Chain A
């Protein structure tokens, strides 16, 4: 009898030795005279368990993790291939509270199926949304997206249906769909996980979008820091092309080249056109004049990946989940010093404290939490006193923060918040596209000013200056890079003023 094993090939599993574990498993099976088949999946998304090895048994899949290559022989001797007891045995993974508490719509298949098996995808309900969409008029698809209440998951939270309607109604010689997979925000990895774990879902979403807006070509702009995701997407597209599934038009994977600002939609369009990734002034909106001057639908990976479910299960079911004006599920990404780091898909509305303390179970290091940065490098640092803020676009904005792409980075009490504020400005200086002055110069001057404060040189005037500078950047920058860099800086200043003192002053 052949035992079926499942080991992720998600980058986060590869990074801690998943390939070595597979080699050790094959070797150990050979020695034991057992036949095994290893299916490489995406990750289920609880990274402290990686590499997670699962075995198919009569009681379903049984997990063991984290497995290091040198533990494999011992595990096999203990009866891994039959799901036997062992200290690394976690039982059925889906029964762990971290997974049992989730509502997985977008990530339902991630870590379960072989991401490059069209049969697996179909057998688990794949392409049901596309089939429905192909029987609908474009306007009816747009109405469904509107009715779902889906908002753009890239960070801005703009209602997706309105954008789709604008592109559908725009006239141009040709139209494009451009999927933003330039997931540059630190603390976020949901796009990567999805592209590596369930690429057909994104392709299905893209085909529905192309049909809805009348585009005959789509691009997926993947950052070069994600070589595995780009590879899996490319292979998935080759399979779809071979199976004749790309009826709406071709989809091309385009690799970025290490520029954070290309996650900004107009900079991404410039980059796709083969130019420097400098932002464009809006208007015109990309929906009217985007890629090569043509009407272009720009959506994030998670926005497009939500579409197949919205169509197959109906927009009402999606809209029934959520909080306030944030409908459906959010892919919350727990990162940094957190025990249960990983992907937690849940309807909007849990509080920040529930997410990091109950779901995340606090820090991995065991130290107290001092701050949580929400929404990437342009997001605010939240102190524990704001842990009652519900995870919702409007509620986070009301606290001068942002949900962004859903990343939560947990910092313990050793963090120096002045250092973090300085880093936010340094990052902006490194990544600024250089087009507008507040961002290009403001970031550099900001770093200098923080340094002056920390050196104790005229701290009063320097603090006033940095607030003034943040004000200029916020209102004067062309895009979110310069416009939102003040969020982490000001949140650090406002919530952790004690860190902005020169060493001699702090000692007094």
Chain B
């Protein structure tokens, strides 16, 4: 289980941004660090990063919205990434996808109403001979069938 995200704290955010600001091309590492701390990157956080890096808000916003990983609103307690790519398809990913979305009652990009889990698509997790595969928070899970699939769904809802 990943630690619960911290509530927004401007001073802490500024501290995180400054800690990475010296890196070459620092915006992605900054966004990753902010998201790790606060669970998402609010418009406030993006604006602060822009101000400290001396780039325009539009530029920071453009980067924030380009990448699938970055979220502008908080996720559920867990993030479940289900692989949808070809190698997993060849091993039954479409069936697993139907089962998981049905069981959780959400589609890709959505969070369950009890805020337990956010379901996201992944396009390859590099577990291509052991699919169908998923990443629950940062834990890889593969050969999703039978008890392992049931356990994944239970863990995601916990």
Contact = CB atoms under 8 A, between A and B. Distances in A.
Interface of A: 11-12, 14-16, 47-48, 50, 183-189, 191-193, 217, 224-229, 252, 254-260, 271-278, 292, 333-338, 341-342, 364, 373, 377, 407, 409-412, 415, 420, 423, 427, 430-431, 433
Contacts of A274: 25-28, 63
Contacts of A271: 28
B123 A260 contact: yes
Contacts of A420: 86, 89
Contact of B126 (A11, A256, A338): A11
B147 to A, nearest CB: 10
B126 A341 contact: no
Contacts of A11: 125-127, 140
B121 to A, nearest CB: 8
B24 A336 contact: no
A375 B6 CA distance: 42
A225 B90 contact: no
Interface residues of B, number: 44
A338 B129 contact: yes
Interface in B58-74: 59, 62-63, 66-70
Interface of B: 23-29, 31-32, 59, 62-63, 66-70, 81, 85-91, 122-131, 133, 135, 138-143, 148
Given A187-B124, A256-B69, A341-B130, 13 more contacts: A12-B126, A15-B141, A48-B129, A189-B129, A229-B126, A252-B23, A257-B28, A259-B67, A273-B24, A276-B66, A336-B131, A407-B87, A409-B128
Contacts of A227: 135, 138
A15 B90 contact: no
Contact of B140 (A15, A373, A427): A15
Nearest to B59: A275
A12 B134 CA distance: 11
B141 A277 contact: no
A409 B69 contact: no
Nearest to A424: B86
19 contacts: A183-B124, A184-B124, A225-B124, A252-B23, A257-B31, A258-B122, A272-B25, A273-B24, A273-B25, A275-B63, A278-B66, A333-B129, A334-B129, A336-B87, A336-B131, A337-B90, A341-B130, A407-B87, A427-B85
B66 A186 contact: no
Contacts of A409: 86-87, 90, 128
Contacts of B126: 11-12, 183, 188-189, 191-193, 225-226, 229
Contacts of A364: 91
A228 B126 CA distance: 11
Nearest to A412: B90
A126 to B, nearest CB: 24
Q: Which 3 pairs, one residue from A and one from B, show the smallest C-beta to C-beta distance?
A: A341-B129, A336-B90, A186-B85
A14 B126 CA distance: 13
A427 B123 CA distance: 9
B127 A423 contact: no
A187 B66 contact: no
